[in-house]
Structure 1
Amino acid sequence: MSNGGMVSVGECMIELSGDGSGGWRMGFAGDTLNTLWALHALTGDLPATYVSAFGDDPFSRDQIAFFADNGIGIGSSPKIAGARPGLYAITLDGHERSFTYWRNDAAARRLASDPAALANSLENQKLVYFSGITLAILEPAARTALIEAIATARRAGALVAFDPNYRPRLWASAADAKEAFDAALQVADIALPTFPDEQMLHGDADPAATMARLKAAGVGEIVVKDGEKPALVMSNGQTREVPAVFVAKPVDTTGAGDSFNGGYLAARVLGFAPDEAAKRGHKVAAGVVQVRGALAPFETLRKAFEN
């Protein structure tokens, strides 16, 4: 593994979340940012970089400033004149959430528009993380360019982690999603799927079927998440169940799976075995669902990870 830091590739959006009294709070979030946020909180001094594309509008400048204020860089991510970030709003029914999106012209769709800049951002990293949403927002040629850049980083020593995170509305067809995910799995050392997503896309009967399919695809380390149910963990050919952490009164489940990924990957980067990493991922997810919004305070994440 190389001596660099951690890179997450994807789309940071403007997040609007209700405050419970009819008002709205603005923040920044997105699946790959949520994961990097937890990773960064839990891995101390390792550099953290969010690779995307940004506009030149005030919201894009605020995003970049927010990252900098929290110790996250943007590498060589392109800044595109006239572009702007995507937006989503969270509505809650109890602790369950739903989302409304405005993202069709988001700057992040052009994150692979400069192959040299992308390669520079991925150079000399310990870990490169991306998701199915990262792939979904890109045109086919850009998806290919991104996967090729990640493959190059992997050959240079980076550990590559991928969460399929299937969202049907982002894809022209299930076949397109399957093709893109198959290509991504070919460059992934760690896969972090969620069973209901995999069942929706592939018709898997149970998490064991998801595990078997991804193992057959050649992925060496797999964690199949399944909400409040145990995660199925496979490494070195061995498969185990790791129970989730029960939360009696969750406040907001936004970002729980992403934060599990961050906790799991942080533990792996820090040298913990996969089973222990999954235990810590569950603890981090349990901490996150007890606060509002996708980005929990660093101290909340650290406390959950260590307890």
Structure 2
Amino acid sequence: MTNIAILGEVMLEFSSTSERNYVLGISGDTYNTACTLAGLNISVTYITSLGEGQPAAIIRQDAQQRNVQILEPNSAFNKSAGLYIVYNDKDGERSFNYWRDDSAAKALFNNQDLLLPLLNQVKNHDYLYFSGITLALINTSNASIFIRFLEHYRQLGGKVIFDPNYRPSLWLNQAAATQAIKGILPHVDIYLPGYEEEEILFACTSSKDIFERLLAIDISETVIKNGSRNCSIIYNHCLTTVSITPSKNVIDTTGAGDTFNGGYIGARLAGLTPYDAVNFAAKAASQILLIKGGGLSTPHLSKLNKHLQIIQQQQSN
């Protein structure tokens, strides 16, 4: 079975149902992707620290139910998981308030003595996935150590997948984010940015601009997400645009990009072409738009996995 290691932070999510009422969920950008992949029968190891207390226990139970293996340091931090509140406007667009500055995950990513042994445990995994949110939690000195690990990991045959998932509040400033992401991209095999991120961080004004920029870096595979409009694929040094059918009756856009990433990676690992993988990923993302919260439920993922299996069977005939 293909296996993938994912680095990131799992958080408690409070999603508003009315002005003063909230539903408790378990979320986080890379965790949503991890759950999607596990639901598609990919073996997932998730590197993080959840800390201590009831929040950590709730998250560990959720991960176990979703077949996501949590890999944590043996030394427990006297800290807890981060949390956030998500609000939605009438169109389902979201805004957030975060409490994560003193989270156990951030403490882990800033402690090389605890992080490196965990990374070494997954150096033989087929794929390694992380996001710009993960990168923002790593301090400058540890970032260089992390890059050296990526170099070694790729020399061993591993493939690196990265979504910049730019969140301005996590960075000192935009220039710091651009510099950090520029430093990572030469070590990436599959790149999953949003069009808006490329525009903000790298002053690209078209898919062609992005195409020319990434050709110079020579990333093997890129999917540029452009909301409900389209996706652009850069593969084998060619640029292809795939139209997306917009979802109707959107309730919550939280986790759409995360679910898309999980759907795309899962479909590619199942043998689909980039073009077919984008269509499958768009279908996965359309499902998350119709529910509250950042992750698909197990029944949703079971149906999605059956759909993927049907596509595989059709292509093998």
TM range (shorter): over 0.9
Confirm or deny that 1:56 pairs with 2:52. yes
Which amino acid in the other structure matches residue 65 of structure 1? Answer: Q
Number of residues of Structure 1 aligned to a counterpart in Structure 2:
303
Which amino acid in the other structure matches residue 39 of structure 1? Answer: L
Deviation larger for 256-265 or 66-75 = 66-75
Matched-pair contact (CA < 8 Å) for 1:60–1:85: yes
Work out which of the residue numbers 32, 37, 40 in structure 2 matches 1:39: 37
Compute the TM-score of the two structures, normalised by the length of structure 2: 0.90
Alignment partner, residue 264 of structure 2:
264
Deviation larger for 237-246 or 73-82 = 73-82
Specify which structure has the higher proportion of helix: 2
Map Cα deviations across residues 76-127 of structure 1 (whole Å, 9 max, x no partner): 4455331111111001111111111111111111334224422234222122
- Counterparts of 1:164 and 1:21, CA distance in 2: 32
Alignment partner, residue 253 of structure 1:
253
Aligned runs of 1:64-75 on 2, under 5 Å?
Answer: 64-75=60-71
Matched-pair contact (CA < 8 Å) for 2:13–2:27: yes
Confirm or deny that 1:119 pairs with 2:119. yes
Confirm or deny that 1:229 pairs with 2:229. yes
Map Cα deviations across residues 178-227 of structure 1 (whole Å, 9 max, x no partner): 22111211111000000112212222112332232122222110100010
Matched-pair contact (CA < 8 Å) for 2:66–2:298: no
Map Cα deviations across residues 53-83 of structure 1 (whole Å, 9 max, x no partner): 2212221222122211221111244553311
- Counterparts of 2:55 and 2:22, CA distance in 1: 16
Which amino acid in the other structure matches residue 9 of structure 1? Answer: L
1:147 deviates by 2.7
1:4 deviates by 5.2
1:144 deviates by 2.2
Which amino acid in the other structure matches residue 100 of structure 2? Answer: R
Aligned runs of 1:180-259 on 2, under 5 Å?
Answer: 180-259=180-259
Compute the TM-score of the two structures, normalised by the length of structure 1: 0.93
SS in 2 for 1:186: helix
Deviation larger for 16-25 or 218-227 = 16-25
Matched-pair contact (CA < 8 Å) for 2:108–2:115: no
Alignment partner, residue 95 of structure 2:
98
- Counterparts of 2:108 and 2:143, CA distance in 1: 10
Alignment partner, residue 163 of structure 2:
163
- Counterparts of 1:120 and 1:76, CA distance in 2: 13
- Counterparts of 2:263 and 2:160, CA distance in 1: 15
- Counterparts of 2:31 and 2:146, CA distance in 1: 17
1:40 deviates by 1.1
Matched-pair contact (CA < 8 Å) for 2:49–2:72: no
5+ residue gaps in structure 2?
A: 309-317
Alignment partner, residue 24 of structure 1:
22
SS in 2 for 1:55: coil
Deviation larger for 254-263 or 241-250 = 241-250
- Counterparts of 2:64 and 2:148, CA distance in 1: 28
Which amino acid in the other structure matches residue 34 of structure 2? Answer: L
SS in 2 for 1:74: strand
5+ residue gaps in structure 1?
A: none
Identity of aligned residues (%): 32
Deviation larger for 245-254 or 109-118 = 109-118
1:13 deviates by 1.1
Alignment partner, residue 153 of structure 1:
153
Which amino acid in the other structure matches residue 23 of structure 1? Answer: N
Which amino acid in the other structure matches residue 18 of structure 1? Answer: S
1:302 deviates by 4.3
SS in 2 for 1:16: strand
Deviation larger for 127-136 or 237-246 = 237-246
Deviation larger for 70-79 or 184-193 = 70-79
1:14 deviates by 1.0
Which amino acid in the other structure matches residue 210 of structure 1? Answer: I
Matched-pair contact (CA < 8 Å) for 1:131–1:164: yes
Which amino acid in the other structure matches residue 9 of structure 2? Answer: E
- Counterparts of 1:295 and 1:259, CA distance in 2: 7
